[in-house]
Chain A
Amino acid sequence: MDKTINQKAWFLVLPVFLVVAFSAVLPLMTVVNYSMQDTFGNNQFFWNGVGWFKELLDPSTDLGGRFLASLGRNLFFSAVILAIEVPLGIVVALSMPREGWSVAACLVILALPLLIPWNVVGTIWQIFGRPDIGLLGYVLNHLGFNYNYVANDVDAWVTVIVMDVWHWTSLVALLCYAGLKSIPDAYYQAAQIDGASRWAVFKAIQLPKMNRVLLIAVLLRFMDSFMIYTEPFVVTGGGPGNSTTFVSIELVKIALGQFDLGKAAALSLAYNLIILIVCWVFYTVMTNAGSERPVKEGAA
């Protein structure tokens, strides 16, 4: 096949190139530049080489300690919400009606939390959980539970996790529901004829057919929860103490609170790198899962 050679095509790529350069490449390079330097204000910079990165990985320094602790909290948070939201989303999707007006009603109700802006979600739960005026906090305290997310680490964690589950389980449920809807009726009929129990139908038909959407759900939920900032910031502000300070909150504190541009830049690069690696792993897994082609009979 002969390719037409036309150098004018470069002009068509140029606008995108410029937009990406100014919106992504140049800011990123600025961050790389900052990460190698230290500043004491007045726009004076001093070369620091890979010093910040060394500190970042050394738990005995202030920066490394804060980074690794918040990273640990963040991974724990992601693991917990995935362990709750994925099975819960599947159960919700399975118990949703398959036809009739109630389908639309369910979809609207499920979509509601997804449509609420993140800071509003945070505010809702911040007030909802207050022991003095919040419905949840007030009721819990009057039932005899000493619940106070401002003072107690565990309460703060529970609040943040329940909030995330409330906010995002719908997404998993909707994705699973879409996966379930795409299963042809013949599968259920065949399973009926094969005498499969409800559990066998789930294991042999529904779960395998939801495979792809579940991967997408896990990827989306992991990324979102790993980058979470607004909701815990609004509810707990990262406290009590540092107990709910996630990487993003720590990053903002260092960059904008202390104005330590060098440290913050190094931290954000590491943060970015982790996300890229996770994305790459998921992408590889997903494309491999989809590359199963039928093999001709007798080929092997």
Chain B
Amino acid sequence: MARIDLVDLAQSYNGNDAPPESFALKPVTMTWRQGGAYALLGPSGCGKTTLLNLISGIVTPSRGQILFDGRDITPLSTQKRNIAQVFQFPVIYDTMTVGENLAFPLKNRGIAKAEVDARVKQIADLLDLTPYLNRKATRLTADAKQKISLGRGLVRSDVAAVLFDEPLTVIDPELKWQLRSKLKALHRELDLTMIYVTHDQTEALTFADTVVVMHDGRVVQSGTPAELFDKPAHTFVGYFIGSPGMNIVPAEVSGHEARIDGHVIGLHRNYGVLPAGKKIEIGVRPEFVDVAAPASGLLSATIERIDDLGRIQFARVRVGNTKLAARVPPGFSVSGGTAGLIFNPAYVHVYADSHLVEGVA
């Protein structure tokens, strides 16, 4: 069990002299709390698996340090790091039974048989694998195999953190849900640091207390699901999390006002005068934009289609060349091809070159 600190950690697969922009993981400094449930969320190729492999020691970093409880473990091999990792595809040892699979990491470390047996039994109970202990592991389903690979990590009592690399990819949808709840329960029970890599926002938001969003080799925001939803620090976070994603509209911002196509939208905070030369945009989630009948005080938009998600309807609209999504309030029926848009000023954020600008209240 440990707190994990990353200090200026970076990784380049093309050598240390490669241009900084080509790094698979750009320098990152952050702390993973002991006992936290983290999700690393981002699209394929954003560097999340690289970060995970750096922590587990499968990849040695080009730069920077990794500290476990303040101790520098960067040069240590995977074996010595006390890390458990569950891979995308279940890894099981074909010739062994489930019990032997679970005992394998302990046997390799030369632990006495009685202790191994006790530990294996305990973990098998925890993962509901007890009935299969004497069965060949090859003949089980993918989710049972994935539990075995998890079990091989948990069986070590000294394990510092459990890393998951998209562990539910090969699991049937109905079992995904069960296995995810199981992970959550295990996390509460064992007080382990868990880091869960995924590109699926539902998985990330349901599993983690803290979601770390990565984009293009950088950590763009880390926070609770609510923070990511309400106040994305980067336009990428706004767009990637939420369905549909955040509306990002080019605008001119000064003081308490944003201008889109000459139309003024009030803002909750004062942004003063923003630096020139940066791309200024406002971002607002579709949930906080309502469509209404066209009126003179409202930004007028062309309605392209209505997406009915059952409990909520979103209108896909166009303002000039920008496409937006907006909520259709209950009881409002869309008529005609145009509508007015009502923004909820508390949730309108301002971005300069894609990064959030904090206004003054």
Contact = CB atoms under 8 A, between A and B. Distances in A.
Interface string A275-300: 00000000000000000111111101
A197 B108 contact: yes
Contacts of A61: none
A204 B104 contact: yes
A166 interface: no
Interface in A192-227: 192-197, 200, 204-205, 207-209
B83 interface: yes
A196 B140 contact: no
A298 B94 CA distance: 20
Interface string B102-127: 00110011000000000000000000
B56 A292 contact: no
Given A189-B85, A200-B108, A204-B96, A295 B91 contact: no
Contact of B95 (A187, A192, A208, A295): A208
Contact of A193 (B85, B139, B140): B85
Interface string A180-194: 000010110110111
A195 B105 contact: yes
Interface in B68-113: 77-79, 83-85, 87-89, 91, 93-96, 104-105, 108-109
A209 B153 CA distance: 22
B85 A204 contact: no
A189 B58 contact: yes
B46 to A, nearest CB: 20
A187 B141 contact: no
Interface residues of B, number: 35
A187 B89 CA distance: 9
A295 B149 contact: no
A189 B78 CA distance: 9
Contacts of A292: 138-139
Interface residues of A, number: 25
Contacts of B142: 294
Contact of B79 (A192, A204, A300): A192
B139 A186 contact: no
A194 B96 contact: no
B117 to A, nearest CB: 17
A269 to B, nearest CB: 41
Contacts of A294: 138-142
B161 to A, nearest CB: 11
Contacts, number: 73
Given A186-B91, A204-B96, A205-B93, A196 B108 contact: yes
Contacts of A205: 93
A294 B78 CA distance: 31
Contacts of A300: 135
A194 B104 contact: yes
Given A195-B109, A196-B104, A197-B108, A190 B139 contact: no
Contacts of A295: 139-141
B139 A208 contact: no
B141 A193 contact: no
A297 B141 contact: yes
Given A209-B94, A292-B138, A193 B89 contact: no
Contacts of B105: 193-195
Contacts of A296: 141
Contacts of A184: 89, 91
Contacts of B58: 189, 192
B166 to A, nearest CB: 11
Nearest to A293: B139
Given A295-B139, A297-B140, A193 B95 contact: no
A192 B85 CA distance: 10
Contacts of B57: 192
A172 B297 CA distance: 81
A200 B101 CA distance: 12
B152 interface: yes
A113 to B, nearest CB: 32
Interface in B30-56: 53, 56
Contacts of A207: 95
A187 B56 CA distance: 14
Contacts of A193: 56, 78-79, 83-85, 105, 153
B144 interface: yes
B95 A204 contact: yes
Nearest to B91: A190
B77 to A, nearest CB: 8
Given A193-B85, A297-B144, 14 more contacts: A189-B85, A193-B79, A193-B83, A193-B105, A194-B105, A195-B79, A204-B93, A204-B96, A209-B94, A292-B138, A292-B139, A297-B140, A297-B141, A297-B143
Interface of A: 184, 186-187, 189-190, 192-197, 200, 204-205, 207-209, 292-298, 300
22 contacts: A186-B88, A186-B89, A187-B91, A189-B53, A190-B91, A192-B57, A192-B78, A193-B78, A193-B83, A193-B84, A193-B85, A195-B79, A195-B105, A195-B109, A204-B95, A204-B96, A208-B94, A208-B95, A294-B140, A295-B141, A296-B141, A297-B140
